[in-house]
Chain A
């Protein structure tokens, strides 16, 4: 009898991942930026920077100086400080909104993919309706009735992100639900809940997480757009989007007023994309080639 096949056969068991080699310099840079901007946003209150709302009427649209490292905007407010406080809004909305989509959309998608039948048809139909609803109209309606605030923006974008998560979760679940290990669990007498939580969720979680990071990137841009249009966080609270909007008027005399927040947004979104992509590639449990 071939007992203890693995004895001395450890060479034949492949190592899980060669993670070190595949993390590129770009990934590290992206991670560093996110950590940097995240820390700055969290510690904004204790950082030695000026208040973002202090106006200096004498130094409007001033170029970078010792007092104002990145200059001032059209109302004399410190750009660096506004950018850091703006990061707070962007990152908060950017991270919290997709969580709504992830939890609600992810759950709906998994249940739809697993149970199929009428439940799936209803879910897909409902999600399609939400998808077809013009997002701007929705945002306008919410802000008109509930007022403009960071919380409301988070809710609006969060709800609008549900369909995408539902689709991803459903697609992944569908591809897994027919796989033999799920049937095996049914053969063993596992309840539906157990199968969903112990068999399906660990496999669905990673693609969903990778999608989550990409959703964060998109949300930051969407929040920026809404703020740019005046539907987002109301002034004087700084948001990268509203800063771009305000900087629009000064494009010919002080272009950095618009470009600085745009640049920050660009780099942050890029960083989340890179991390999301790299994580998706890394967490594929199948080893390469042999």
Chain B
């Protein structure tokens, strides 16, 4: 795997100062606040955070499924936020999304064969034999027997199988970037491992770049080259996976690592995990948004919003009192 601290080529995706806000009964919900990150060609960037941190919103904003309030999304040199209508539709083939709920992502009234062939039809491939060949190829690639699944409807399959169908549908046009939005959270443990392995395999086979969004740190660690940690709409820390896990710089990252239940009875679970719950994104704390739960918070944290800056360990952290560097 490439050493991702020095990206060999220009990044495939650059998000610049992205802001996503929307009105909720008279007030403004700040879902994503000034997030900038890059994803290099061929790498997997893991985006991790708990519910309400804005990671899913960020994923959709990158794809322009939800138009950002401000900021730019540059994909292979093209600014997606400036695209519209037909141009955007054409660009869509190169960026795909895999959803959290595999069964809800499939039209309950269409058979698997049609569902997977749909992207080809939309891009104007009219030759039926060609379509059939490509659908068969991709279905086999994800581990499903085309002859068995072609005519069946989604509700006849399990969650894991549906997720394979979703992956097949996302890959049939051979996109360059695939955003995986909690692709395994709704699946059982043993199926999770299958799907994660499948994603890695597909990444190798199709030369994909992945933006992997999840709340489970262990899952994200298993697949990512670099990790970005989000809290309440802002980035806390970004860096190579091993570095972030072994030497977390941001107190929130440390908190997340402590809270994960470890399947080893000799490891005592940490008690007295940081008190309280995340504040509401409708009314985020001033300055650093994590300060209400941070043991290191002081007056500076309430006054100034911390900016991402480099640490000695090679990560970027947004904290006035980081744990390292």
- Spot the interface stretch: B143-151, B229-237, B266-274, B302-310: B143-151
- Closest chain-B Cβ to A32's Cβ sits at a distance in Å of 29
Residue of B nearest to A181 (CB): B107
The answer to whether A2 and B99 touch (CB under 8 A), given A181-B106, A184-B169, A187-B65, is no
Please tell me if B206 contacts chain A, counting CB pairs below 8 Å.
Answer: no
| B122 touching A189, Cβ below 8 Å | yes
Question: From residue 43 to 82 of chain A, which have CB atoms closer than 8 A to chain B?
Answer: none
Which of A8-16, A237-245, A271-279 sits within the interface? A8-16
- The answer, among B92, B148, B194, B198, for a CB contact under 8 Å with A187, is B92
Residue B153 lies at the interface, judged by CB distance under 8 Å to chain A: yes
Q: Say if the beta carbon of A28 comes within 8 Å of chain B.
A: no
Interface residues of A in 1-54 (CB under 8 A from B): 1-7, 10, 12-14, 16
Contact of A13 among B95, B122, B152, B194 (CB under 8 A): B152
Question: Is there contact, CB below 8 Å, between B201 and A189?
Answer: no
A182 to nearest B CB, angstroms? 8
Contact A188 B161 (CB under 8 A): no
Q: Which residue of A lies closest to B158 (CB)?
A: A12
B12 nearest CB across to chain A (Å): 17
Q: Are A6 and B148 in contact (CB under 8 A)?
A: yes
Q: Shortest beta-carbon distance, B285 to chain A, in Å? A: 30
B89 touches A191 (CB 8 A): yes
Q: Separation in Å of the A111 CB from the closest CB of chain B?
A: 19
B89 touches A189 (CB 8 A): yes
Query: A203 is contacted by which of B65, B107, B194 (Cβ under 8 Å)?
Result: B107
C-alpha spacing A18/B215, complex, angstroms: 40
Kindly state the separation between the CA atoms of A181 and B106 in the bound complex, as whole angstroms: 5
A281: min CB distance to chain B, Å: 16
Contact A202 B155 (CB under 8 A): no
Bound Cα distance from A117 to B288, whole angstroms: 36
Alpha-carbon distance between A41 and B282 when the two chains are bound, in angstroms: 64
Q: Are A4 and B123 in contact (CB under 8 A)?
A: no
B156 contact from A14, A185, A198, Cβ within 8 A: A14
In angstroms, Cα B143 to Cα A14, docked, is: 20
CB pair A194–B197 under 8 Å, yes or no, is no
* B residues near A126, Cβ cutoff 8 Å: none
Whether B161 lies near A5 (C-beta < 8 A) is yes
Residue of A179, A181, A199 contacting most chain B CB atoms (<10 Å): A181
Instruction: Tell me, in angstroms, the Cα distance from A16 to B157 when the chains sit together.
Output: 11
With contacts A184-B169, A187-B97 known, is A10 near B148, CB below 8 A? Answer: yes
Interface residue A287 (Cβ < 8 Å from any Cβ of B): yes
Q: Are A6's CB and B144's CB within 8 A?
A: yes
Determine the distance from Cα of A10 to Cα of B148 in the docked complex, in whole angstroms: 8
| A149 contacts B by Cβ under 8 Å | no
Min CB distance A209 to B, Å, is 13
Which chain A residues (174-222) contact chain B, with CB distance < 8 Å? 179-181, 183-191, 194, 198-199, 202-203
If A188-B122, A189-B93 touch, whether A180 touches B104 (CB-CB below 8 Å) is: yes
Binding site for A on B (CB under 8 A): 63, 65, 89-90, 92-93, 95-97, 99-101, 104-110, 118-119, 122-123, 140, 143-145, 148-149, 152-153, 155-158, 161, 166, 169, 173, 194, 197-198, 201
A-B CB contact pairs (8 Å), 20 listed: A3-B143, A5-B144, A5-B161, A6-B149, A16-B153, A180-B99, A181-B104, A181-B106, A184-B97, A184-B99, A184-B166, A184-B169, A186-B65, A187-B63, A188-B96, A188-B118, A190-B118, A286-B108, A286-B155, A287-B155
Given pairs A179-B104, A203-B108, 15 additional interface contacts (CB within 8 A):
A1-B197, A5-B145, A10-B148, A13-B157, A14-B155, A184-B97, A184-B99, A184-B105, A184-B166, A184-B169, A189-B123, A190-B122, A198-B110, A202-B107, A285-B109
* For the complex of A and B, 7 pairs with smallest distance between CB atoms: A189-B92, A202-B109, A180-B105, A189-B89, A6-B148, A180-B104, A4-B145
